[in-house]
A and B are shown apart, each in its own frame.
Chain A
Amino acid sequence: MSGDLDPHGDVTVDRVALAEELAGEAAGAGHAASADVAAYALGLGDDSLVLAQRLGDWITRAPELEEDVALGNIALDLLGHARSLLHYAGTHDGRSEDDLAYFRDEPDFRNAWLFEQPNGDFAHTIARQLVASTYLVELYRHLEASTDATLAAIAAKASKEVDYHRDHAIQWTLRLAGGTDESRRRMVRAVEQTWPYVEELFRDDAVVVRLADEGVVPLPSSLRDAFDSVIDQVFAEADLARPEGRTAFVVDGRGREGRHTEHLGPLLAEMQVLARAHPGASW
């Protein structure tokens, strides 16, 4: 064998400094979440986890290879948020992120219904992304100011990432709504079928009201105006109408209470199947 190159395949490894994998861990300094904060973090963590699980399905199936990469990035960001939030929620009673992700049953999941809706076609995924990311941008922007150091640190990182997710969703909303007749028809339908799930995101419950009083979290209802105003701008440019008051159907989302649509069960069954087949195993 000749040449100055090692054909073994021992590729030189860049000595990069690794950033904190779970956001907020350092900021929290081992501080355990209170019952209310844990419940809140669980809901938010479940939102991101379930959405990441959905988006992961696009990898290998996206409309173009560049989009496989883009949706993969978004799913990875959301999975990162979910891990940080579930980890923090688990500090309340000593459960790990994986205990929470893999060993809770459907009624114990607290995600809003929007996030568990199927991917549908690309327009449905974009409509869901537009709603989810616009909501999350407003939420994390306020949560950065939380009196809870861990939540504030998680929000600070997530805030920048969901901002990009929103941009991605807006770009595609404009292109699908303003592209061909077919894409416009699909986008209009997707918006109509996604809108019934918007309401639940902005509903206040007893836990958030208590936490909002202490300055820990923003009231969901207080984020609605900012959400509407962003959506109105996007829709004005895309020549779409906000289907308020004339939605395709009406749902009463109760995900934060552990009630779910028919779509969550199969998603969890698939996600949890291997971990549950080997309880106590390490991976």
Chain B
Amino acid sequence: MSTPGETGTEAWPLWEVFVRANRGLSHVHVGSLHAPDADMAVRNARDLYTRRNEGVSIWVVPADAVTTSDPDAKGAFFESPAGKNYRHAVYYTKSEGVKHL
């Protein structure tokens, strides 16, 4: 299932934009835009999403190239981790109070 938005009927395709706000941080999705190709998409993204020093790096991805999980299957798809409490540090109460653990 692709990301919503691309209609396939417009002159310029839709691109999803991700911006890295600072070195050391991940690229974060900020929105989308239209551009004829990747070169222009990254430039349009610079003009549109970083007018106020919001970023040091930009990714653009064709919207129809993004695959998303199915939200209707949300329960089933994301159920498994629940209950596996042993993956969390707070599960281990006996070591509480011991330093550097």
**In the complex, A touching B, CB below 8 Å?**
yes
Residues of A within 8 A of B (CB): 16, 64, 66, 69-70, 73, 167-168, 171, 175
Contact with A along B22-61 (1 / 0, CB 8 A): 0000000000011110011001100110011100000000
Q: In the bound complex, how far is the Cα of B97 from the Cα of A77, in angstroms?
A: 58
By the criterion CB–CB under 8 Å, are A66 and B47 in contact? Answer: yes
Identify B33's interface contact among A16, A66, A171, A175, CB under 8 A.
A66
**B85: shortest Cβ distance to chain A, in Å?**
32
Closest 10 CB pairs of A and B: A66-B44, A70-B47, A69-B47, A73-B47, A69-B48, A66-B33, A171-B39, A171-B40, A66-B34, A66-B48
Taking a contact as CB atoms under 8 Å apart, the answer to whether B36 and A175 are in contact is yes
Roughly how many angstroms separate A268 CA and B33 CA in the complex, as a whole number?
A: 36
Closest to A19 in B: B53
Interface status of B12 (Cβ within 8 A of chain A): yes
Q: Contact between A168 and B43 (Cβ–Cβ < 8 Å)?
A: yes
Give the shortest distance, in Å, between B58 (CB) and chain A (any CB).
13
Q: Which residues of B contact A (CB under 8 A)?
A: 12, 33-36, 39-40, 43-44, 47-48, 51-53
Other-chain residue from B12, B39, B53 in contact with A64 (beta carbon distance below 8 A): B12
Please, which residues of chain B bring their CB within 8 A of the CB of A175?
36, 40
- Give the secondary structure class of A's interface: helix
Question: How far does the Cβ of B15 sit from chain A's closest Cβ, in whole Å?
Answer: 10
The interface residues of chain A lying within 8 Å CB-to-CB of B39 are: 171
Residue of A64, A73, A168 contacting most chain B CB atoms (<10 Å) = A64
The docked-state distance in angstroms from the alpha carbon of A168 to that of B36 is 14
Residues of A within 8 A of B34 (CB): 64, 66
Q: How far is the CA of A66 from the CA of B33 in the complex (A)?
A: 8
Residues of B within 8 A of A167 (CB): 43
| Contact of B36 with A70 in the complex, beta carbons under 8 Å | no
Residues of B within 8 A of A168 (CB): 43
B48 CB → nearest A CB, Å: 6
B40: chain A residues at CB < 8 Å are 171, 175
Chain A proximity of B26: nearest CB distance (Å): 21
Q: Report how far A175 CA is from B11 CA in the complex, Å.
A: 14
A70/B51 in contact, CB under 8 A: no
* Cα of A66 to Cα of B11 in the assembled complex, Å: 14
Cα–Cα, bound, A274→B36 (Å): 40
Q: How far is the CA of A167 from the CA of B42 in the complex (A)?
A: 12
Q: Are A66 and B51 within 8 A (Cβ)? A: no
Q: State in angstroms the CA–CA spacing of A73 and B51 once bound together.
A: 8
> What's the nearest-Cβ distance from chain B to residue A74, in Å?
9
Determine if B43 and A70 form an interchain contact, defined as CB atoms under 8 angstroms apart. yes
